[in-house]
Structure 1
Amino acid sequence: MTTALTNPLQLAEDAQNLLFHNARTANAFTDEEVPEETVRAVYELVKNGPTEFNTTPLRLVLVRSDEARARLLPHMLDNNRDKTAAAPLIAILAADLEFHEELPRLFPYFPQAKDVFYGDPNDRAESARFNSALQIGYFVIGLRAAGLAAGPQSGFDHEGLDKEFFPDGTHTALVVMNIGKPGEDAWGPRLPRLEYDEVVTTV
């Protein structure tokens, strides 16, 4: 007879709280700088998250300079512009639509995958967006693991931002993410989630 574990999760409770239970999408931040080494440490952690054929189509543009902010902010929707302007660090998270060029190096077991699965530009773009979305999720968890809060936003002029930051057409922005230490009244109450039995079906 197998005895059920009282807590089947191997993640400590304080880590569960940091990454999930107490974490929110932040709307306000302190003015504390987010150093380069912190972002690098987050990436080195989350780059190991699984993707299709080990594709890594996510590309990050860290918006730090006043000049780059001035280029970005006009493309944000009105209700997002002030939040983004006040964030210590802004990241544009984009999908590389030519990610397949790296596949012979990233997935050497099947070098033909570059052409067999990603020869069609439409299929390639769909895969780039899907796998980038996976990586964005990992990146949010990584930021939380570093004690930071993230405010991912899709409310921006996608076409205008792409023309501004990716004029060659090989990348497309998916999310503009505000990053920093959470400030006063950074988030609202936890919104409801669907329960296990509403989501999971066993067959």
Structure 2
Amino acid sequence: MPTVTAPVDRQTIHQLFEGRHTTHLFSEGTVDLELIQQAYEDARWAPTSMNCQPMRLTVLEPGERRDAVVGHLKGDNGEKTSAAPISVVLAYDPNWHEHMPTLYPQMDGLREKFAPRVEFREKMGRDNAYLQAGYFILALRAVGLDVGPMGGLDPEGVDTEVHAETGWKTLMVLNLGHGPSSDEAAQYPRGERFEFDQASQVL
């Protein structure tokens, strides 16, 4: 008889989705690095294409390295990042194919097959890292953190500051903390969401 997975309780679903809100300014206090590590440990089990797992993380605590990254953020994103307890540069590894013998051993020769296909690897890496970013944000919420994802930045500039040795490519910055500050700008009014009937078709 097949095993039937029990649904997650609605309170937990609420905590991950409707009950949480993108946060721009955080309350005072530090973030334990172990929470970020735990969120990654949980999120890494979610599916990616051929288990390629291209997402990479650079954790930035307040200091010179984060200040250097702030200079490549657009608009008020730099100010938000400077004020955050901790930040994560979320990137992808364009050379994710090098790990395929370990990540997808059931199919031989994938590393060699993908090696010359640079444009394909770039697209697959970006697409799947964005997919992993969604998992990671939910995992961060699950461990009790509030998240402020930001894409307004110069990715090449950020890469010069933190990815010169790894070759990783920046996608976004996630600012993390415990709850919003009392500032009215900490969380914007929630925008509308499409209903199922507006965003789907059943054929």
Asked whether the two chains share a fold, i.e. TM above 0.5, the reply is: yes
2:107 and 2:162 map into 1 onto residues whose CA distance is 33
**Contact 2:53/2:128, CA 8 A, preserved across alignment:** yes
Deviations 1:88-147 (A, max 9, x none): 010000010001100100100013222334530010000000000011000100011011
2:114 and 2:66 map into 1 onto residues whose CA distance is 37
Partner of 1:54: 51
Deviation at 1:164, TM superposition (A): 1.9
Percentage identity across paired residues of the two chains:
32
Could you say if the C-alpha distance between residues 117 and 198 of structure 1 is closer, same or farther in structure 2, counting changes exceeding 3 Å? farther
Letter in 1 for 2:66: R
Could you say if the C-alpha distance between residues 168 and 69 of structure 1 is closer, same or farther in structure 2, counting changes exceeding 3 Å? closer
Structure 2: give runs of 5+ residues left out of the alignment. Answer: 1-5
Partner of 2:162: 165
Count residues with an aligned counterpart: 195
Partner of 2:194: 194
Q: In angstroms, what is the RMSD of aligned CA positions?
A: 1.6
Structure 1: give runs of 5+ residues left out of the alignment. Answer: 1-8
Partner of 2:84: 87
Deviation at 1:75, TM superposition (A): 0.7
TM-score when scaled to structure 1?
Answer: 0.91
Deviations 1:158-187 (A, max 9, x none): 121112222257211001110111222431
Letter in 2 for 1:66: G
Q: Secondary structure at the match of 2:90?
A: strand
Letter in 1 for 2:32: P
Deviation at 1:70, TM superposition (A): 1.8
Deviations 1:39-59 (A, max 9, x none): 111111110010001011111
Runs (4+) off by over 4 Å: none
TM-score when scaled to structure 2?
Answer: 0.91
**Contact 2:65/2:161, CA 8 A, preserved across alignment:** no
Deviation at 1:199, TM superposition (A): 1.5
Q: Secondary structure at the match of 1:21?
A: coil
Tell which deviates more after alignment, 68-77 or 44-53. Answer: 68-77
